Structure 1
């Protein structure tokens, strides 16, 4: 049985819990075939990032041509893009292959700051992210901090999330999945999918304590891309991806100094 091809365009996490490593594990567990385009090498583990080596834009372009020219791509997920040059290169080539007739869904995880606090997107690259890449997206998946950088207001409660998700979607002209996992003093992990037309969907799970959240954003956006590549609607893909992430959190296991996500949770199989 064939599987849809889904590509991650993101950074490599030497700790294995986030970045392309998390993306490829997620694609496999959710029933898709994963290919990868590496934007950066990082020296990191869940405690922090100690080094970033940016890929040359020409080599990034070669990677993209290698996978897009060979595979019938159904979905693309972008993660850590780091610099203005890389964002412009990715955006240009995505446009090129769409113009050639490749009909793929694009999920943009606007990776800006790691859970540990390390900056993963240069300040001067934010404008290019908004102007060049986001207009191509079928969905963007910011957390609360990233949403504020992209133009939302301050969010202090679950009641504020829905109007802000819709407002940001209207401002950017693309559906927004606003992730509430960083909301303080909340017993639920609430996410709101807002559309530019004012429509919205909510997804809630009980907040889980005592695990390292490293890689949750990568895993979530990758699962969404995987399900979109399989033909699910946007709202259904988000719901299925939310279930996958919650299972990965509940079934997290000790690795190193902390618990880490289980990217092959029971109940989900390729």
Structure 2
């Protein structure tokens, strides 16, 4: 257990889904030691809150002193403070400690009303939150209703209703005037599409957009296998992080239709506290990690109770660095690899060679040089898959490697036929000297260590060419496209890599990658090794096309 101590100051939930019960589960899931100060006992379940019994304020003070005078607390999360007397007790205690410089970051979840409509913070306590607790908080995390209430009580003198992203940002700017360092305004109760996010991003270009669990650019091969691809009109959930510096961040995720949402606000704020306690690089990083943890908790939840049940707080109790597969992202490991080397991957799959080939303007000499070297490279590629089969200990991996060798042999046959249309004989292919880029890439494949690294190395080629094929095919179908297939001397090449035979091999490769990630459950160090191999091979692929463009030997 980590020695990172996190304190929750909140009410209880007898059904276990929210309040201190949710907080302590979240702390444990993050490897933190949880302490608690209980402000009130509630009788509640998945259907609603049936009763609230406030703890005497003096006893709340005693709990605070007991914890903070003894334990080295790294972060504090506050939730339900119940009434004005309790809120003032908490604020006075924390303010005294803040002035002495002995208090860690405070994450304030301004719990006012339950989702079922039960009042959890009395009217006279709201002012204490705004004037007392917010100014000493590193972050406040209101939902839509809470933000509207708080902004109206701050006497903004303007419309405080949130009905879109822009009004959400305006309310966040009002709340930041309370003196808190940042506002995380949760948008789960707002109906939003990806198009809305794109529009607000265009209007506020300085705002940073972080897409979580949403496939992005240069991922056509992943989108092709997605049962529920994210499109412009797809409903999404987003949270808005607005910091006192003016930095604005939108965190966007696919909306999950689920009734397992009880306690999500408690969980999110607690997860942020944990990330800060563990030394997150920035508040933005802490919030992004916490938001994804909560999202996955909803995704992994099973139905409990007759109403809105809890999310699964312990989905990460056996930590995995790779997200689980979902309808919106069926290939999370491959997504992670592509994102880890996004710039080199883009330079590879959107290379000038590819663009000129799509336009049909690629010089014939460059293409002939490429297909000659590609023929020689495919020998290395097939042999490397033979090595993979030899190094593998499972029949599934052996079968997958064997199937790929078969596909390569098919590709070689097509390659020879295609080369003949450019006047290149089989003898000429065999007699072509290897270019240095070909030798460098081939040698790297043959020298790559264990079977898992070899899979990473081989997939950069398989998936990259599949991506290029689908990208050019997609571009060719667009209005006023720059891709011209009719009359294009390289049309056959595009159709070959966008075709069912090759894309079938891509799907096998994707399944191999995802299965490997699950079975290996890599450590952070192992995952970094895999990322390095993947990035190295995307660079070698780019160099291969550089060689073709420069006619290098």
Q: TM-score range by the shorter chain?
A: over 0.9
Alignment partner, residue 310 of structure 2:
260
Contact persistence 1:46–1:212 (CA under 8 A) = no
Counterpart CA distance in 2 for 1:82 and 1:237 is 27
1:237-252 to 2 correspondences below 5 Å: 237-252=286-301
Counterpart CA distance in 2 for 1:53 and 1:184 is 35
What do the CA deviations read for 1:78-102 (whole angstroms, capped 9, x no partner)? 0000111111110111122234442
Contact persistence 2:47–2:116 (CA under 8 A) = yes
Alignment partner, residue 34 of structure 2:
34
Contact persistence 2:139–2:180 (CA under 8 A) = no
Alignment partner, residue 160 of structure 1:
167
What do the CA deviations read for 1:171-202 (whole angstroms, capped 9, x no partner)? 54431001000113651111010022321111
Counterpart CA distance in 1 for 2:95 and 2:79 is 18
Alignment partner, residue 184 of structure 1:
191
Alignment partner, residue 57 of structure 1:
57
- What SS does the corresponding residue of 2:115 show, helix, strand or coil? coil
- Shift, 1:267, TM fit: 7.3
Counterpart CA distance in 1 for 2:23 and 2:2 is 19
Structure number with the bigger relative contact order (C-alpha 8 A, sep ≥ 6) is: 1
- Shift, 1:154, TM fit: 1.2
- What SS does the corresponding residue of 1:35 show, helix, strand or coil? strand
1:132-151 to 2 correspondences below 5 Å: 132-151=132-151
Unaligned runs of 5+ in 2: 153-159, 194-234, 321-553
- What SS does the corresponding residue of 1:255 show, helix, strand or coil? coil
Counterpart CA distance in 2 for 1:77 and 1:266 is 20
Contact persistence 1:22–1:215 (CA under 8 A) = yes
Higher helix share goes to which structure? 2
Counterpart CA distance in 1 for 2:7 and 2:122 is 23
Alignment partner, residue 225 of structure 1:
273
Structure 1 residues 268, 168: closer, same or farther in 2, change over 3 A? farther
Cα-Cα RMSD: 1.8
Contact persistence 1:211–1:252 (CA under 8 A) = no
Alignment partner, residue 234 of structure 1:
283
Task: Tell me whether 58-67 or 162-171 shows the greater mean CA deviation.
Answer: 162-171
Counterpart CA distance in 1 for 2:125 and 2:98 is 23
Higher strand share goes to which structure? 1
Alignment partner, residue 11 of structure 2:
11
Once superposed, which parts of structure 1, at least 4 consecutive aligned residues long, lie more than 4 Å away? none
Unaligned runs of 5+ in 1: none
Counterpart CA distance in 1 for 2:10 and 2:27 is 14
Counterpart CA distance in 1 for 2:22 and 2:256 is 20
What do the CA deviations read for 1:222-243 (whole angstroms, capped 9, x no partner)? 0001111111121111001011
Contact persistence 1:6–1:27 (CA under 8 A) = yes
Counterpart CA distance in 2 for 1:64 and 1:234 is 25
Q: TM-score, normalised by structure 2?
A: 0.47
Alignment partner, residue 206 of structure 1:
254
Structure 1 residue 129 and structure 2 residue 178: aligned? no
Counterpart CA distance in 2 for 1:88 and 1:164 is 25
- Shift, 1:161, TM fit: 2.5
Contact persistence 1:76–1:106 (CA under 8 A) = yes
What do the CA deviations read for 1:56-87 (whole angstroms, capped 9, x no partner)? 01100110111101100110000000111111
Larger radius of gyration: 2
Task: Tell me whether 116-125 or 161-170 shows the greater mean CA deviation.
Answer: 161-170
- Shift, 1:268, TM fit: 5.9
- What SS does the corresponding residue of 2:112 show, helix, strand or coil? coil
Contact persistence 1:68–1:97 (CA under 8 A) = no
Counterpart CA distance in 1 for 2:178 and 2:57 is 30
Structure 1 residue 66 and structure 2 residue 66: aligned? yes
